[in-house]
A and B are shown apart, each in its own frame.
Chain A
Amino acid sequence: MTGSGTTAVGEGTLKGGGAPPSRAPSKPLRSPWTAVIAVAVLLIALFPVLSDDLYYQNMIILAMVFAVGAVGLNIITGYAGYISLGQGAFIGLGAYTVGICVSDIGGSPWVWVPVAGLLAGLVAAFLGLVAMRARGHAFVILTIAFLFLMQLLATNWDELTNGTGGITLPIPTWSVEYQYWPFYYTLMGLLAVSLLVSWWIRRNKFGMGLIAIREDEDKAATVGVSTPTYKILAFVASAVFVGMAGGVYGYYISFIDPLGMFNILLSVQIILSLLLGGRDTLWGPVLGAFIIEWLNETSNNEFQGGNARLLIFGGLLVLVVIFLPRGIIPTANRWIEWWRTRGKAGLAGERLTGIDLHARATPVREAPEPSGRPLLEVKGLEKRFGGVHAVDGASFTVAEGSITALIGPNGSGKTTVFNLIGGTMAPQAGEVWFDGRRIDGKPPWQRAHLGLGRTFQITRLFREMTVLENVVAPLQGFHLGLLNANAVSGREAKRAEELLEFVGMRKYRDVPAAALSYGQQKLVELAQILMLDPKLIMLDEPAGGINPTLIDRIGEMIRELNAQGKTFLIVEHNMPFVLGLCNPVLVLARGRTIATGTPDEIQRDPDVLDAYLGEDFRLEQPVGT
């Protein structure tokens, strides 16, 4: 397994064709919007100079505070898919930081604004650490607990926060001529930087990893995304500028108290800004924030706030979730898209025609002869779910260069063994050795980096990504510089297209994965893990639930990849497929390996016939590898 790491599958086809144009991961900014956004930004930038209306200056300032909060929230909620009800707490945290520093240490509030950002970032990192193992709902609860805990601390920690009495900040010292300009333009700057960071994240590997986490976190880990690192960095990125904006906001309103600063309504308004404008868009949170601030003013002026605010924002939240779940910008984009493409047939609707495998490129280099040394070694693996011994002392080896099958009755623990090898689950006992290293303590992404690729029994693609993005998503390693790399570089796109060509799915590169049929998803998932350039490919029921033609094609692909040096471990119930393709065959029953041998031997093994194949099993086709 030496030489160039990239076993160029089917490279020949594209040689001379030039790299296909790389494509941005999504199009948050579409042409009809560019002009609108440019005009809006210009108007807001010039507003204080053109008009001396303090009422509207105040409104825009508050809208920008919401906007910074919502743009930050978009990073964890829109990109990474984690809902936070505690985003408002970072505004309070920032305001308190500035308030406490000014009253206890002194100096200008402006000096302390960056400190507020730093502290918000640190707290967010801590939250990310706590949330490392918490998914979905548990995370929501954590953010609620965080918000209320902050409020409690601000109320009860009198020496530091002056409790419910609150903190009063000094009155600005600049000339009244400048009105609120310093607040206004500082917040505008913060908003611009937040947007820049949000845009930067979304177009890079960092954002790609976050989207993968949103779509399927466990799967993301198995294709090499080190999920905790991504999550913690995302939390920090979502909080730093919000903390700074909170500091400016505290100075602006000049009075800070626990109820005002850690009010859950603030979080609600930030969430609403994001939902209304559109998650996973660049400008959606900003648009939403301006709408929400306008509503906020209206409810205060027309209905005297209080209960009316609760009814308006509570009602709006319910309505948006039910009737406008995607938000304004994505919905509008859909309408525009529909208008543009009406009357045209979609590619996803076409019938998948068979491709001639042999017309494609031949492998670039021949693989070394199978060495026969064990690539994967499993020793005494055990996994219990409550009282059920799913895996009960399974031991086996997979020789380098082999196509090994793992068969056994339903419930014999095959998929659990896969999960234990891939790292999606931790065994209670036993060892897993891969390529001379013990890996059972390593997280899934590190196993992927070492060269372990797996597919799932029920395909698990990142549904909202396109086929190409799915194939490009896997990562062969992790370093900080990677976060700054383009989401889809030209080189990667080229390689991904080659892999898609290999599995016969190139035509579908720009189709969302969710639109593919089950069999097509299986092919794309294969291409996806090939992107990892794995030494060992573990396939969980590659022939399950797909038509016979496709089964033959998958068999051919496996042989071809094997000829190039890839080792396979395959779980499958289709006996003709297994016995015709694999050698050796391992048989698992009741969580234990009960037999190992060539297909011939396995078919005659009385234990196997008894446990799995059945007495009357006779394979009709001749057997051979």
Chain B
Amino acid sequence: MTEFLQALILGLLIGGVYALLASGLTLIFGVMNVINIAHGAFLILAAFVTWSLWRAVGIDPLAAIILLTPLMFAFGWLIYNATVRPIRKAPAAASVLLTFGLALLLEGIMGVIWGNTSHSVRPEYFTESFQIGELFLPKGQVYGGLVAIVVLASLYLVLTRSWLGRAIRASAVNPQGAELVGVNAASVAALTFAIGVASAGAGGAIASVLYPFLPGSHYQWIARLLGIIVLGGMGSLPGAVIGALCLGVAELMTVTYIGPEWATGVPYVFVFIVLLLRPQGILGTRLRQDVATT
């Protein structure tokens, strides 16, 4: 029972980090119908920058979020305007291939800068745990999960309370309509992409404490995040949160009861099961498509 409870709590905490990362991915998909395959590479990049800051200056990885979020926001905005923007009107398949190419480029660049060896960020509290009864909760995971929830909550506030948030949601529902009422869809798309990458920045800083990483880790991360948004319903933010919590718990249960080497397979199995049984995901809806002009 203790074992189960421990797996459940750790799963939910890690699920919170996944939720933050998946929100950025699903937001980008919802607004511009682009699957950002480079999302995993962005988050590994953030993890490497966090590692360098921690190594060189001793900045706490969780505090580095304050620095990394605007940095990755700017980076995302630049990348969008340089690469994704020119193919905005191209068929959807083009964006998948493009962001896949970006992921490979980033992987190669990180390999050149940091090398293809495993890195991990270990602040002093890394080896400490909170002990509640018989439960041992590593401090790194507890702090990471809590910080992720705070960042995620502020993302929700931005999306629901600000003009930009309303413009983003309007563009997601009806791009032409949003343009007609004065939303510049292209710049909203750029900002959305930047926000998505910024969330990968914040999540990447947290992830650098939770898992060791190397440039090639981004495949595993993107597979995990894609599994989450497929499960939750592509384009749905609440769906991403639910999917993330489910995946976090399912992974920890797999580690506890089946074996850690199979944990990476959980998101792939999610994808297969969801597409077979409920292709629109938990919270996805199927809308009429015949009148859509895009």
Interface residues of A (CB under 8 A from B): 77, 81, 83, 85, 129-131, 133-134, 136-138, 140-142, 144-146, 148-149, 152, 155-156, 218, 264-265, 268, 271, 275, 306-311, 313-318, 321-322, 325, 385-386, 390, 415-416, 419, 424-425, 456-458, 460
- B136 to chain A minimum Cβ distance, whole angstroms, is 27
Cβ B102 vs Cβ A314 within 8 A: yes
> Which residues of chain B come closer than 8 Å to A424, judged between CB atoms?
290
Cβ A415 vs Cβ B291 within 8 A: yes
Of all chain A residues, the one with the shortest Cβ separation from B90 is A325
Alpha-carbon separation in the docked complex, A458 to B292 (Å): 8
> Which residues of chain A come closer than 8 Å to B287, judged between CB atoms?
385
> Which residues of chain B come closer than 8 Å to A314, judged between CB atoms?
101-108
Give the number of residues in B that approach A within 8 Å (Cβ atoms): 53
> Which residues of chain A come closer than 8 Å to B92, judged between CB atoms?
136-137
Cβ B226 vs Cβ A425 within 8 A: no
Of all chain A residues, the one with the shortest Cβ separation from B265 is A152
10 nearest A-B residue pairs (beta carbon): A314-B104, A317-B101, A310-B108, A314-B105, A307-B111, A318-B101, A311-B108, A145-B271, A145-B268, A149-B268
- Known A-B contacts A145-B223, A145-B272; the reply to A458 vs B108 at CB < 8 A is no
> Which residues of chain A come closer than 8 Å to B275, judged between CB atoms?
130-131, 133-134, 138, 142
Interface flags for B257-275 (1: CB within 8 Å of A; 0: not) read: 0000110110111011001
> Which residues of chain B come closer than 8 Å to A322, judged between CB atoms?
83, 86-87, 98
> Which residues of chain B come closer than 8 Å to A271, judged between CB atoms?
97
Alpha-carbon separation in the docked complex, A117 to B271 (Å): 25
- Known A-B contacts A130-B276, A325-B90; the reply to A140 vs B104 at CB < 8 A is no
Alpha-carbon separation in the docked complex, A264 to B112 (Å): 19
Alpha-carbon separation in the docked complex, A146 to B90 (Å): 26
Q: Which residues of chain B in 182-236 are interfacial with respect to chain A, using CB atoms and an 8 Å cutoff?
A: 219-220, 222-223, 226-227, 230, 234
Alpha-carbon separation in the docked complex, A493 to B50 (Å): 65
> Which residues of chain B come closer than 8 Å to A275, judged between CB atoms?
97
Alpha-carbon separation in the docked complex, A145 to B276 (Å): 14
Q: Counting chain B CB atoms within 10 Å of each CB, which of A77, A136, A419 scores highest? A: A136
Alpha-carbon separation in the docked complex, A567 to B100 (Å): 51
> Which residues of chain A come closer than 8 Å to B234, judged between CB atoms?
137-138
The answer to whether the Cβ of B35 comes within 8 Å of any Cβ in the partner chain is yes
Alpha-carbon separation in the docked complex, A315 to B83 (Å): 11
Cβ A315 vs Cβ B105 within 8 A: yes
Cβ B290 vs Cβ A456 within 8 A: yes
Interface residues of B (CB under 8 A from A): 29, 33, 35, 83, 86-87, 90, 92-94, 96-98, 100-109, 111-112, 116, 219-220, 222-223, 226-227, 230, 234, 261-262, 264-265, 267-269, 271-272, 275-276, 279, 285, 287-291, 293
Alpha-carbon separation in the docked complex, A458 to B289 (Å): 11
- A258 to chain B minimum Cβ distance, whole angstroms, is 12
Alpha-carbon separation in the docked complex, A145 to B268 (Å): 5
Cβ A321 vs Cβ B105 within 8 A: no
CB<8 Å pairs between A and B, sample of 10: A83-B96, A134-B279, A136-B92, A148-B223, A149-B268, A311-B104, A318-B102, A321-B97, A325-B87, A419-B290
Cβ A83 vs Cβ B264 within 8 A: no
Of all chain B residues, the one with the shortest Cβ separation from A137 is B35
- A145 to chain B minimum Cβ distance, whole angstroms, is 4
- B273 to chain A minimum Cβ distance, whole angstroms, is 9
> Which residues of chain A come closer than 8 Å to B269, judged between CB atoms?
149
- A84 to chain B minimum Cβ distance, whole angstroms, is 10
Cβ A311 vs Cβ B285 within 8 A: no
Cβ B268 vs Cβ A386 within 8 A: no
> Which residues of chain A come closer than 8 Å to B291, judged between CB atoms?
415, 457-458
- Known A-B contacts A138-B234, A385-B285, A415-B291; the reply to A306 vs B279 at CB < 8 A is no
Alpha-carbon separation in the docked complex, A552 to B226 (Å): 52
Alpha-carbon separation in the docked complex, A306 to B115 (Å): 11
Given A134-B279, A318-B102, A325-B90, 9 more A-B residue pairs with CB atoms under 8 Å apart are A137-B33, A144-B223, A145-B226, A152-B264, A310-B105, A314-B104, A317-B100, A325-B94, A415-B290
Alpha-carbon separation in the docked complex, A306 to B107 (Å): 10
> Which residues of chain B come closer than 8 Å to A306, judged between CB atoms?
111, 116
- Known A-B contacts A83-B96, A148-B223; the reply to A141 vs B35 at CB < 8 A is yes
